[in-house]
Structure 1
Amino acid sequence: MEIQLGLNWHLGHGQPERLEMELFDLLHSIKERGSLQAAARENGLSYRHAWGLMQKWKALLGQPLALLERGRGASLTPIGEKLLWGQRRISARLGPDLDSLASELASELHGLIHRDPLPPLRIFASHGLAVPLLRDLLQARADVSVDLQFRGSLDSLRLFAAGKCDMAGFHLPVGTLGARLAPRFSRHLDEVADQLVKVVRRRQGIVTATDNPKDIHNVGDLVRPGIRFINRQPGSGTRLILDLLLEDAGIEPQRIGGYNTEEFTHLAVAAMVASGAADAGFAIEPVAHQFGLNFEPIATEDYWFAVRREDMAGIAQGELLALLRSPEYRSAISGLVGYDAASAGEVYKVSQVFPQQGNNRSTPRHT
């Protein structure tokens, strides 16, 4: 079972009018194509219908959303731009939460509707673009219900150790950055009871407006006067990486304007920068590409699933492992800029990823 939750907009004075969601698609296409006719064609609308939408909202708001000039194409007005970026920011901020709630509810309904169903595969995971893609492919390919909830890397591992989920998704930089962060992660893993499955390799870095107008290339540039930064929440793997980079550079976090302004997903960070509400953020490469932003690579990292060894033979886990190793998954991942799935589906002992873990056992698990 699949549930999709969405947002409805109501706009205007007195009794606000419901805003047609196709208007946002039309505004986006006008911005990209510079033509109402081309925008209408791209969205499968007649020119008459597209023109009518624009005139309707011009009348309701008292201002046009786009300038339509014969022979000179079309361009968004400031209010059209603000409306479009507002929608993208809200979708980026709330979309993952809505997906998590929909996934949780679908799993609960699945258990009530189907007799003797397979229990849903519950995954708590750090936000990224590969994991929801993997969920969708798995549910389309096999009769497996997946309850995916986005949380920070450390929170996902903590809840995994407490027996609250079947798998935990987290990301760890390669090299010295990862070695220094390792103790924060490995404390929640058990060398004997757990195994790690590689999902994807990806890059994180600084995202800025197109053409990088403020010439921001590294964390040292973030302290310059007037630079507005958008951060990730405490406990997220991205925040941990940034704080280490600042420590290495000898930078006090509070010197950065906006350090305490936080978003909970990579998409929301990119949307803030794209809308002009921030000059820079720290995020994964494909969201920069998605929003047409400049990307300055800083760290390469691996995304992992933590799985209990005894669960690896489970039906849902087996299907997931097979999917990770499939050409279908690698083909889907190839569409995400900066993602590499060449080693996806490889299984490791905890001590192979966290050598300092050795043969130590973590605290007893709660089940």
Structure 2
Amino acid sequence: MSDPTRFRYRPGFVNSLDVRGWPVTALRTTGRPAATPGSSPGRLLQVIRSRDDWTRQQLLAETGLSRMTLFERLDPLFRAGLVHEAGPAGPTGGRPAALIRFADQGRVVLVLDLDHHTARVAVTDLAGRSLRERELAVDVAGPPDSVLTTACDAGDALLAAGAAETLVGVGVALPGPVSPVTGLLRPATVMPGWDGFPIAAAIAARWPVPVLLENDARAHALGEAADRPGTTPLVAVKYAHGIGAGVVLDGALLCGFDGAAGDIGHIRVTGDDAAPLCRCGRTGCLAAFASGYALLRRRGVTPSSSDDLAARLAASGDLRDGARLLGRTLAGLVALVNPQTIVLGGSLGRLPVVVDEVTAAVRADALERLTGDLEIVASTARHPAAVGMAALVTGHVYAPAAVDALLA
């Protein structure tokens, strides 16, 4: 898997704010910074983070800096413990050059991934690889302070189990839209009572580090894109109790004007007033027909965990019908975005029957020139939202402006 923490700014895409209210502009996977490489210590660190090993001579060639200026940029990075020497570069016929690396050892991110009935809490490294994790039963329709306390208590226990680790930030994935202006959760039908609740501030009261919020489906999409470097555009769908999607274009996550990009579950698939009532209050939404929540309610079953959801619905005809409707909805997105790959994830999206039905519906409804080379696959990532949130947190904490401010 590529390193999803190698990002640069791209204004207007990523919408989260950290607890201090600083806007987190878009982050884009790339091996080369947007501004002049090495023009500040923060920019130089961005170059160093773009691959595993550098020698000073290679940094001189990459940045175009003079030797004296390069040493002036490197010195505060070494003193702050942001870079380190990692042994000799290998035989060169003379004195071996020392390798310089980003000092990511022991630095971790805490990820709280809240689903409708589950909280997945993980401590990850900066690339989003899980070091320790725990899954809890929660109800996001419950009081926000109670849900967050449960998740944060689990996070405390996981952090305490580590040794010689430094927490650099917390990422929170939520099943609702996040305002790009306030950083607060916007009204979400599955999370009554959360609208305007200071999630980031409540978490930062426990851990005084940057706290970033993002929609769970978009975090999922960013994690899937990190697993498929060079794939663009990529559309990832999280299909479980709800239905959401994310679009990643050239490594940048599309969030939309008001933080609601990818909310495909509330596209109306019929104008029939007799259609099922959606939790958003309207009739005929895709989610009212096809979401796991709707499919179980139709059977008179109370939705519970995601594993239970998949077990109950895997072989049902209702799921086939729902997947077909999802595919028809995605066909419109294919016409608009022309993706290279659609990744179907979530407890229902991964099921072979869903992949087959979605693929057939997309190919039937969209033009052949849009679908001829289109890849539609099931997600193989274990916890893509954790990878996505770790990428957002790491990209923010080690953004050039943040590093320069830290060193100043």
State TM-score, norm by structure 1: 0.29
Q: Which of the pair is proportionally richer in helix? A: 1
State TM-score, norm by structure 2: 0.27
